Amino acid sequence: MNTNSLRLQQTLALCSQSIADGDFKKSEESISILVRFLDSISDFASSGSQDEQESENSAFEVVSQIYDYLISPSTDQAVIDALAFELPKAVAKLACVSTRCFENAERIINHFVKICSPRDMVSILCEAMTSSSNGFNASYFTPLLGALAKAFEALQRRPFEQVKAALPVVLKVLEAFLSNPEDEKDTGFVDLLSKSIIIAHSLEAICIRLDHKDKKLIALFALYVLQITALISNNVGAQISTMMSQLSHFLQYCGLTYFGLITGHEVDMAVDLLSQGDEDDHMNCFSYVRCGAILTVIWRDLSNEVDDSTKQDLEAVKLELSKNQTKRWDAIGMLKHIFTSISLPWELKRHGIDLLFCIMEGVDFRKDHDASSDYSVYIPSLYASLQAIQLVIVYASDPLLRKKAFDTFKMVLADLPPSLRFDILLALTRNSELSSMIAILLDCVKEEMHREYPQKGSKENEFPKSENNMLQHSSPFWTARVLDFVEFVLKPPNGGPPLLPEFSDAVLSALNLYRFVLITESSGNTNYSQVLSKNMLQKVYREWLEPLRALVSGVRAESQDDYQMASCGLNPLEFVLYRCIELVEENLKHQT
């Protein structure tokens, strides 16, 4: 017998004797000595300072000896109970040494769960996971998670309270490893994923045992599945697809439907049920459940294992969403969680765009909006969703994906009532920091104005007149407020002229929008936007165009040649600027 084995045997004997004697203080000291000894073995094995095989053999002998001691009929239950409070963490550290150490460590921890109080073991295992060092790899947590699943199933009284307290710990561990899968090189990574599924199986088993009567437990189960769906989706592969099929099965057991998931209604119901009378912040651990809900739909849509009836269900959901505007807006709000995620692979974001595009393709945009409806409750969600789609337009590396995202963006805009569309476009413009995106948004405004301007031959009496006898257009895009888009770019709210050449795209688009409004109103003999009023013409000339001309002239003076001007994108801007100045001057002459 080597030195480590002899020392372990002596320490275990000391623990057993002190517990048998009822000496509480001495038993605590002896167990503490045992834990320090085990920690020294695992630290030595992971240090790499000696022969790896020798240190691995030593660690394996230790965990084997502990397991033999625990299963021995001569070992008293009181001793096992006392050791159960301290050994799981120390043994889990030894699991990181090698595969065979892992197997024995897992057997030890599972043995504790088998013969000790499951209620105590849930707390012990959670404590081992929360007090661990950040340096531990997946092999440390894997046996603890697997044992926790067994402890859950063994709970007899008040399982909901125990599970509710433990799941935040579980999810924190999973999030730490699954949020950045590209950095994870631990060989136990796949085992960790499997244990997360095993915990879901254990929760299902509890719900079945309780005959589906504990609605809060079922809601908690559903949210856990949605959360790990989002976390596991950070990885893409054949094995992940199989896991997603299992997770979808769990959600069907919980009574969740594709329609309820994609609109978020059933997710909100589960969250509300668990939040009733609950003042702690345990719900924070479910921050990705809405992302998980929409990912569930996408994974099922992509799966080759889906039967014909499921495919028909998904197609029916898409059709219903294309016909029901408010439910469609709920789905759009849910999809934003995919587009804003920094962890999800672009492949899933592509499928998110494909799903939204498919829904929007079936929408009849010619239908009039209900003027009596209050859409204000949807503004924050729709605004955030359009911002999320913008992220795909800007940052996707695939030009085809960027184009499809932009087409989808425009269809979502077209789905909004004109007043809401105007307000959201203005908010998006004011809150965008990218010149190219501001230019795109201003081009959208110009398209809206072109589409809604009355065709040739329209009579003036088709539109009402204001108190000052000026024609009023029914569209918010043909009002004085449309010039706010131009002013935001040409006279930035933080003062001074716009930055050039950094904001050349935005400035050029703003000038083009102004030129379009001015020419359209002038040639149509209208003034819906007040662009032709003398005060406005003077303001534009004095506050927008003159400072911009001085800025462009300064940039040209600093440039060595026309090629440098062209490389800055200022040549076309300069051309449109001087055309706008000419138009303003011409119209001012007509005012005198």
Q: What is the per-residue pLDDT for 423? A: 94
Asked if the model's pLDDT at residue 564 lies above 60, the reply is no
Least confident of 46-50, 55-59, 418-422, 563-567: 563-567
Asked if the model's pLDDT at residue 46 lies above 90, the reply is no
Alpha carbons within 13 angstroms on the beta-carbon side of residue 59 total 31
Q: What is the per-residue pLDDT for 138? A: 85
Q: What is the per-residue pLDDT for 436? A: 94
User: If 0-12 CB within 10 Å is exposed, 13-18 middle and 19+ buried, where does residue 425 land?
Assistant: buried
User: Cα-atom radius of gyration of the chain, to the nearest Å?
Assistant: 33
Contacts of 171 (CB under 8 A, 6+ apart): 224, 227, 228, 231, 285, 286
Q: What is the per-residue pLDDT for 115? A: 94
Least confident of 77-81, 119-123, 460-464, 585-589: 460-464
Asked if the model's pLDDT at residue 132 lies above 80, the reply is no
CA 302, CA 316: separation in Å to the nearest integer? 16
Mean pLDDT of 105-117: 95
Mean pLDDT of 141-164: 94
CB 490 within 8 A of CB 465: no
Q: What is the per-residue pLDDT for 403? A: 96
Give 565 or 143, the one with higher predicted confidence: 143
Mean pLDDT of 365-387: 84
Q: What is the per-residue pLDDT for 582? A: 94
CB 94 within 8 A of CB 38: yes
CA 36, CA 365: separation in Å to the nearest integer? 71
Asked if the model's pLDDT at residue 340 lies above 80, the reply is yes
CA 426, CA 288: separation in Å to the nearest integer? 30
Mean pLDDT of 174-187: 65
Least confident of 45-49, 141-145, 156-160, 204-208: 45-49
Least confident of 97-111, 218-232, 491-505, 519-533: 491-505
Q: What is the per-residue pLDDT for 561? A: 58
Least confident of 116-125, 178-187, 308-317: 178-187
Asked if the model's pLDDT at residue 291 lies above 90, the reply is yes
Averaged confidence pLDDT in the chain? 87
CA 159 to chain centre: 30
Q: In 3D, which of 420, 410, 313, 331 has the Cα closest to residue 374?
A: 420
Asked if the model's pLDDT at residue 51 lies above 80, the reply is no
Q: In 3D, which of 338, 326, 426 has the Cα closest to residue 389?
A: 338
3-state secondary structure of 465: strand
Asked if the model's pLDDT at residue 31 lies above 60, the reply is yes
Predicted TM-score (pTM) of the model is 0.88
Q: How many residues does the chain have?
A: 592
Mean pLDDT of 160-165: 94
User: If 0-12 CB within 10 Å is exposed, 13-18 middle and 19+ buried, where does residue 299 land?
Assistant: buried
Tokens of 563: 């090629």
